[in-house]
Amino acid sequence: MRLLILGTGHMANAHARSFLAIDTVTLAAAVDVDPERAEAFRARYGIERAFTSLEDALTWGEFDAVANVTPDGAHHATTLECLAAGKHVFCEKPLATNFGDAMDMADRAEAANLVGMVNLTYRNVAQLQAARKLVTSGRIGMVKHVEASYLQSWLVSKQWGDWRSQSQWLWRLSKKHGSNGTLGDVGVHILDFVVYGTDTEIDEVFCRLKTFDKAEGNRIGEYELDANDSFTMSVSFTNGALGVVHSSRWATGHVNELRLRIYGDKGALEVVHRHDGSKLFACLDEDIETATWKEMDVEPVPTNYQRFVEAVALGVTLEPSFRHAAKLQMAIDLANVTESDRREHRLPT
């Protein structure tokens, strides 16, 4: 498979390294509006060509698929251009900034019989996939209650850099610069962690958002710091379970941690994914009488990058698909509505 990488920002490096590690992939081209960045990225990874516009790259056209690593607000328009040119697309999350655009992308990919997949990176966590298998096999019985969190501390510590002076962090705090806050940035990750791990879908949501004071006048230079920093969400699921999901960038002591607890009537599971590793714990069988939790060994799993390459080879979209990501975006859009009207909303079926 010949691949074009669209956008050469921070996450594009992960795409380049991951796809280069797959024997059947050739990095055919890179695109960035800045010619120096485009050329530097091309040279760094031994890519054949560099372009400063997607239009020029599509006119050249000597590639099969696109890794879309553009800013969130550009995903919709650029993906549609790629699909119209007959290219398969592997898009960074979130698929789009609203449900309507996300569904448009899903519909267009399916109508063109092209692979459209989303890089929901935590599908790569083997412990999450093992937990899902335990749920679907019936080992924990009927799921009754779910707890999930995505905790980061980059507004507290400088482990990833200083948000007060670095544009790659400041834009995430400003609506004018395209940020939908913590809910828009990592909400899709933790909601996918939940619905995939529990093998269910979201039915109803109620969400509260909070933006904390961070600077004088909540402004640093051109950046107005008005995007949400934390959210708490109550969720009901189509399988009848009830859940709570929350996230914050103010979670002191948690660099980057996703946690999922699944409680069934025959057992329980806990997945912990941190920046320094992942673990799966289970309370099953006779251990439920003594509340004994044991860590479980898991086998490695294919990455999203490998699965996208497999999907293109097969000519069949695999998960996580555009349509799945669109459903998650619907939940996020409705979560924003609930913050305004202070009432629970049911997702359309």
Domains in the chain, CATH or no CATH each: 2-116 (3.40.50.720), 122-346 (3.30.360.10)
The DSSP call for residue 321 is B
Q: Residue 189: beta bridge partners?
A: none
Residue 275 buriedness (CB in 10 A; 0-12 / 13-18 / 19+): exposed
Distance CA 298, CA 181 (A): 34
**Residue 57's pLDDT band (boundaries 50, 70, 90)?**
very high
* CA-to-CA separations, 294 to 119, 148, 267, 297, 338, in angstroms, rounded: 31, 19, 12, 10, 38
Cα-based angle 332, 307, 56 (whole degrees, multiple of 5): 80
Distance CA 337, CA 339 (A): 5
Of 143-147, 176-180, 295-299, the one with minimum mean pLDDT is: 176-180
| Averaged pLDDT score across all residues of the chain | 96
Distance CA 62, CA 288 (A): 58
Q: Residue 346: beta bridge partners?
A: 204
Distance CA 276, CA 195 (A): 24
Among candidate residues 53, 116, 56, 126, the one with its CA nearest the CA of residue 87:
116
* CA-to-CA separations, 200 to 37, 139, 197, 338, in angstroms, rounded: 42, 16, 8, 22
Mean pLDDT of the region 242-257? 97
Mean pLDDT of the region 244-257? 97
Q: At what angle do helices 126-136 and 181-198 cross, to 10 degrees?
A: 50
Residue 54 has pLDDT above 90, yes or no: yes
pTM of model > 0.85: yes
Radius of gyration of the chain (CA): 21
Q: Which helix (H) or strand (E) holds 76?
A: helix 75-84
Pairing type for strands 256-264 and 143-152 reads: antiparallel
**Residue 168's pLDDT band (boundaries 50, 70, 90)?**
confident
**Residue 331's pLDDT band (boundaries 50, 70, 90)?**
very high
Residue 178 has pLDDT above 90, yes or no: no
Mean pLDDT of the region 169-185? 92
**Residue 349's pLDDT band (boundaries 50, 70, 90)?**
confident
**Residue 236's pLDDT band (boundaries 50, 70, 90)?**
very high
Residue 205 has pLDDT above 90, yes or no: yes
